[in-house]
Copies of this chain bind each other. A is one copy, B any other.
């Protein structure tokens, strides 16, 4: 008999102190044992994954099927990622800030786990292992709720990790999988304020908006990226072409891929045909405003909706602007606050852009594809936050921690 979501929540909350008490040596050892167990049991994972694929093959697009599929190489990658987490520094270790107040209270600002983290995500089963690894490392209990398309795969993956906890005489509920993916269950999860300390949704913009609009548990918003590149008058145009090509085509399905191109009007006649050559050759559909279409007739109409759409596909929309001010205003109107880029050699314009564009990550002369916890040097990534509270931009292990003030007195009272 499957547990209800409330029971899972209660068990997760009870497991919080069990996992928070584990030494870093024990947490790291568990990660290494789990990484090994995933390799040892890869056959069971692949069998379950094939069953998932067989059931949903006709309902899923090819890219979705691709994201769902696990083979030996991918399982090796997942296992290696987990083992790599064991090598990262302990995110809840000291030294902690500590001071004495005017009445000689000693205050220690400790870094502590969040408690219960709920991860709600769509197809990709590697998230099941990544999220469990990062929450375990940071001393949290986790509730994993993957998509129904990966249910069997996720059950095997979670089962392997729970076995490792059990054979170490630890509470297996440190890692729990929510297999009931009904709408009612998700609704309950979004409102379990007694048991869920933070919920991290990963998936489509539509899914994340649903979570943000409906949840009463604290949420870290991740991901949607309507990412712009502004090519200033002073840009090195060859560099601009290389960056735009990379940011648009290297992996078009992800949130840090370019979606919009703003071009300074003084270089539009010269630059636009060159970049359209490169984009069209790479199979990109180029949409644009009226002015851009008078310059290059390969550009098709961009409607009002385009400017706020994240394509996640080989499509880009071009808008011509009068200069840095219009570029900044346009971006601040349409941004999803993820990653925004200026290509320019004008120091003043770069400074204006970096200061005034309201996004988690702002780039000068580089591809926005670098918005990523590993590329940033964090060693891990639980998601990319597009909100301003708690965590912003690529989130590593420290995003899974909070603080707690410990106050040590000798009978002080307030006068």
Contacts and interface: CB of A to CB of B under 8 A. Distances in A.
27 contacts: A17-B355, A17-B356, A102-B375, A102-B377, A105-B370, A114-B388, A114-B389, A198-B388, A218-B387, A218-B388, A242-B411, A250-B413, A354-B406, A361-B406, A361-B407, A362-B405, A363-B409, A364-B406, A364-B407, A365-B409, A365-B412, A366-B411, A366-B412, A367-B409, A367-B413, A376-B405, A392-B403
Nearest to A415: B250
A375 B220 CA distance: 31
Contacts of A365: 408-412
Interface residues of A, number: 65
A52 interface: no
Contact of A115 (B239, B388, B390): B388
Copy total for this chain: 2
Interface of A is mostly: mixed
A1 to B, nearest CB: 26
Given A115-B388, A361-B406, A389-B389, 6 more contacts: A101-B376, A105-B366, A107-B377, A218-B389, A365-B412, A369-B413
Contacts of A414: 246, 250, 367, 369-370, 375
A350 B243 CA distance: 57
A243 B198 CA distance: 34
Name the 9 nearest CB pairs between A and B, nearest first.
A366-B409, A246-B413, A369-B414, A389-B390, A388-B402, A390-B390, A239-B411, A366-B412, A361-B405
Contacts of A66: none
Contacts of A405: 360-362, 376, 392-394
A213 B213 CA distance: 10
Interface string A345-374: 000000000111011111111110110000
A220 B247 CA distance: 35
